[in-house]
Amino acid sequence: MKIADSHSHLNGEEHLIVHAPEAYRDVKTAISQADGMTLRNSEDPQTRWHACSESLGELLRQRGWEDVPGTKMPCFTKGRVALGMHLGGSSTTPYEPFADHILLYTGDIINVGIEILPVRAMAMDTEGGRNLSSGIAYYEGEVYNVMRHGRNSPPVPLLIIGIAP
């Protein structure tokens, strides 16, 4: 996999560079080492993305990230950084991708969040099939929502990362 694009909300990326460079390096390394070919191993879009999510999760666990129990989507923490992945599943509301980050931030558990989302170009595969379930949150749409709602929504420093195979 590769990082196709990123958006820093409330100086999320800058916070990572200055205060949590190891965690930021872990995330970039895990994304680059995750096998993008898992997206081609199944006909079902949800199965493909579940496999990709599991691959990324295992790479993060190997680097000392811990699972956050009780979250709807895969969520990990390392120090005061949280990472959420919306790589599949059913339709979501515009704010759901950041709900775990907001809860952890307002509970003074984290200082910054990272959200990994697929880019919109991944919705359709080259053979005309679907790579994403319909209605899934994707990078460009969520960055648009954050920018449309202004500086304070969501009220947590975030780095939103768009990934592609």
Query: Per-residue pLDDT for 163 more than 60?
Result: yes
Query: Per-residue pLDDT for 129 more than 60?
Result: no
- SS3 at position 32: helix
State residue 105's pLDDT score: 94
Residue 162 CA to residue 142 CA, distance in Å, equals 10
pTM of the complete model beyond 0.85: yes
Q: CATH number of the domain at 85, please.
A: 3.40.91.20
State residue 94's pLDDT score: 44
Q: For residue 30, what are the contacts with CB-CB under 8 A and spacing of at least 6?
A: 56, 59, 60, 63
Least confident of 4-18, 90-104, 120-134: 120-134
Give the domain extent around 144: 2-164
Residues 44-80: tens digit of each pLDDT: 656 667 777 888 999 999 999 999 987 777 899 999 9
What is the number of domains present in the chain?
A: 1
State residue 111's pLDDT score: 97
Residue 43 CA to residue 162 CA, distance in Å, equals 23
Q: What is the DSSP letter of 68?
A: P
| Residue 162 structure tokens | 């768009």
Task: With cut-offs at 50, 70 and 90, classify the pLDDT of residue 95.
Answer: very low
CA–CA distances in Å: residue 99 to residues 24, 64, 75, 132:
21, 23, 11, 21
105-127 per-residue burial string, b: 16 or more CB within 10 A, e: under 16: beeeebbbbbbbbbbeebeeeee
Q: Which helix (H) or strand (E) holds 22?
A: helix 21-33
State residue 153's pLDDT score: 84
